[in-house]
Amino acid sequence: MILIPQAKINDYTGRGWWGTQTLWDLFVHNLRERPDAEAVVDAPNRADFAHGTPRRLSWAGLADEVDRFCLLLLKQNIRRDDVLVMQMPNCVEQFVVYLACARLGVIVTPVPVQYREHELGHVLSMTKAVAVATFARIGKPDGGHGAAAMYAELTTSHKSLKTVLAWGDDASGGMPEGAINIAVQTQSPVSENDRLQLAQAERAANVSANDVFTICWTSGTEATPKGVPRSHNEWLIIAPSIIEAGEIRPQARLLNPFPLVNMAGVSTAFATWLVLGGTVVQHQPFTLPVFLQQLREERIDYTVAPPAILNMLLQNEALLAGIDFKRLGRIGSGSAPLSDWMVRGFQEKYGVQIVNYFGSNEGAALSGNHIDIPDPALRAGFFPRAGVTGYDWSISTTRKIRTRLVDLLSGQEITKAGIAGELRFAGPTIFSGYYNAAELSQRAFDEQGFYKTGDLFEIAGDKLQYYRYVGRSKDLVIRGGVNISSEEIENLLLACPGVREAAVVGVPDEVLGEKMCACVVASDGESVSLDAINDFLRENKRVAVYKLPEYLLPLQALPRNPVGKILKRELREQAKALATSPQKETA
């Protein structure tokens, strides 16, 4: 299935940015070059979140399992352009599914393990998926959920879903009626006749680099998740922004602690893995002792971690003992602002360069590394102003994209420093439209064909060479007609004594339109009052009075979606009640 306009294919192919090589072609190359080398590795605590014992597969061993799974798909009459839902924790089987589908032209739509009937119903309705690949159990042995059984029930309300495939064993409670046990069905050795059938099926599928490989889902922090189709070419064009920014060498060992279902996981632990011919060590997010054990024992060359984890590790340096930082010289981070203290600390104490990433499933991506932004304080908050004439950066992707900053009120392009606007992207990394959502797709692009990210940045730097992230365009509090960035206040609140986590949302107000509410999780054993927060902001951070929160919403934890982003819509609903109820002054 090719969803990219032919004119776009012709343009990017003519420029040499897109090619004819598929993800499956890359796998075959690595298989031929390194059959006995280690390709994928399970987390040692696999039994905590799925059936089975941890496994290590060579490229040849992985190829054998892919052959068997391909034969099962063919037996179930699952063919090119059919959609298959994949719901699995991070494990080696994910690679089996991805590669088999890449080979046969089956479109994979990976979903977070936290999704249940509500979210899955939306995915099934949008994609008309014919099959699912999952586990009999996802989660703890005594507290997980029967994924296969859930899908077996969904087949009654979603008629397109004909086939439920699941890995399982007796310990996982067996298979529900109607589900197919993959392990049982793929026991037989691959015969010569099987190989002939696979070769014939591969030729019949005739998968091109412009065919859709995946349909990933937007995080849904503000609205219903949207399906983002990406082709083989669209995934491969992203890989250099990871490899070059992190200076990752060929055959590197990558530790993957992000769910292998969206841009962060797939770009690093699948596309980059195939380009480098390396090894992926899987980690099911997130168990800190296991993560540290893997860093020590698995000879890791590169990994990624959320800013909060990196902050905590640098504050507890005993946890980092035994890690080979001469080998692990680069760590990627992103999805939230970085602390300059953390970026500088890892560089000065361990010689580790932190790479700052910004990205979305739609393909908008910026990478800030020590080559382009040597100063850790700047790298923590700034990104290269990529895709703008007059600036040259180390990462090749920056010379293939275009970006511009647009004032959301006037629609005018911003070229001066310090003015917040929406960052927009065009180029070969950007998707062509949401799946089965023509109206949403049309609204996603501006009149010049640039993708509207919904993210607010401003131009910064002594040569206007940087972008600084400000926040989401939907994440503004408009108080008395003045825009206040929630992100700005949230960053300041994280430094407030007693505050562990913080988010800021607007509360409707008849006079001012909105007032500010600080949603706060206090540190263990601490309490925080609204007065204390505002004293800190006013006296310590010298924040303008109009930016001070008028409400405090104390919480035990911030609500988050399956990939860890804060659900602002839930916080807004909770905060609304504060306008009509007595204010609780302490968190």
| E strand or H helix that includes residue 460 | strand 451-460
Chain centre to alpha carbon of residue 497: 31
In this predicted structure, what is the pLDDT of residue 487? Answer: 79
Structure tokens at 33: 């070059």
Residue 174 pLDDT level (bands cut at 50, 70, 90): low
* Region of poorest pLDDT, from 24-38, 128-142, 253-267: 128-142
| Residue 7 counted as domain residue | no
Residue 145 pLDDT level (bands cut at 50, 70, 90): low
In this predicted structure, what is the pLDDT of residue 149? Answer: 86
> 406 and 412 in contact (C-beta within 8 Å)?
yes
pLDDT digits (tens, 9 = 90+) for 274-321: 999 999 999 998 899 999 999 999 999 999 998 878 988 998 999 999
Residue of 147, 167, 186, 182 whose CA lies nearest to 51: 167
d(CA 315, CA 301): 22
> Any bridge partners for residue 51, and if so which?
none
What SS3 class is residue 448? coil
Give the domain-ending residue among 184, 208, 237. 237
Query: If you average pLDDT over residues 541-566, what whole number do you get?
Result: 86
Q: How far is CA 394 from CA 221, 363, 370, in A?
A: 33, 19, 10
* Region of poorest pLDDT, from 145-154, 224-233, 494-503, 515-524: 145-154
Residue 154 above 60 pLDDT?
A: yes
Query: If you average pLDDT over residues 204-219, what whole number do you get?
Result: 94
Same domain, 369 and 488: no
Residue 172 above 50 pLDDT?
A: no
| Residue 8 counted as domain residue | no
Residue 410 above 50 pLDDT?
A: yes
Same domain, 182 and 321: no
Structure tokens at 227: 């399906």
> 328 and 300 in contact (C-beta within 8 Å)?
yes
Give the domain-ending residue among 472, 507, 524. 472
* Region of poorest pLDDT, from 156-160, 306-310, 447-451: 306-310
Q: CA-based angle 143:146:151, to the nearest 5?
A: 150
Same domain, 222 and 315: no
Same domain, 125 and 95: yes
Same domain, 246 and 327: yes
What SS3 class is residue 331? strand
d(CA 35, CA 19): 25
Same domain, 150 and 177: yes
pLDDT digits (tens, 9 = 90+) for 53-87: 999 999 999 999 999 999 999 999 999 999 999 99
Residue 402 above 60 pLDDT?
A: yes
| Residue 436 counted as domain residue | yes
Residue of 555, 216, 192 whose CA lies nearest to 359: 216
> Any bridge partners for residue 382, and if so which?
468
Residue 385 pLDDT level (bands cut at 50, 70, 90): very high
| Residue 270 counted as domain residue | yes
Structure tokens at 348: 């000065």
In this predicted structure, what is the pLDDT of residue 510? Answer: 72
pLDDT digits (tens, 9 = 90+) for 3-24: 999 999 999 999 999 999 999 9
Long-range CB pairs of 377-381 (<8 Å, 24+ gap) are: 377/340, 377/343, 377/344, 378/461, 378/466, 379/338, 379/340, 379/343, 379/354, 380/337, 380/338, 380/339, 380/340, 380/342, 380/343, 380/354, 380/356, 381/337, 381/338, 381/340, 381/468, 381/469
Same domain, 232 and 289: no
Domain count, the chain: 3
In this predicted structure, what is the pLDDT of residue 278? Answer: 97
Please identify which residue in the block is written with the tokens 């007796």: 170
- The better pLDDT of the pair 294, 477 is held by 294
Same domain, 227 and 368: no
Same domain, 464 and 518: no
| Residue 587 counted as domain residue | no
| Residue 13 counted as domain residue | no
Give the domain-ending residue among 209, 237, 265. 237
> 560 and 566 in contact (C-beta within 8 Å)?
yes
3-state secondary structure 494-541: CCCCCEEEEEEEEEEECCCEEEEEEEEEECCCCCCEHHHHHHHHHHHC
Find the CATH number of the domain harbouring 498: 3.30.300.30
- The better pLDDT of the pair 150, 384 is held by 384
In this predicted structure, what is the pLDDT of residue 158? Answer: 92
> 302 and 247 in contact (C-beta within 8 Å)?
no
Same domain, 434 and 523: no
| Residue 292 counted as domain residue | yes
Query: If you average pLDDT over residues 495-508, what whole number do you get?
Result: 92
In this predicted structure, what is the pLDDT of residue 171? Answer: 43
Query: If you average pLDDT over residues 445-459, what whole number do you get?
Result: 94
| E strand or H helix that includes residue 254 | strand 253-256
Structural domain span for residue 74? 23-37+44-237
Same domain, 462 and 515: no
d(CA 212, CA 340): 39
d(CA 480, CA 461): 30
Residue 332 above 80 pLDDT?
A: yes
Residue 476 above 90 pLDDT?
A: no
Same domain, 269 and 233: no
What region does 299 belong to: left with phi over 0, alpha with psi -120 to 50, or beta? left
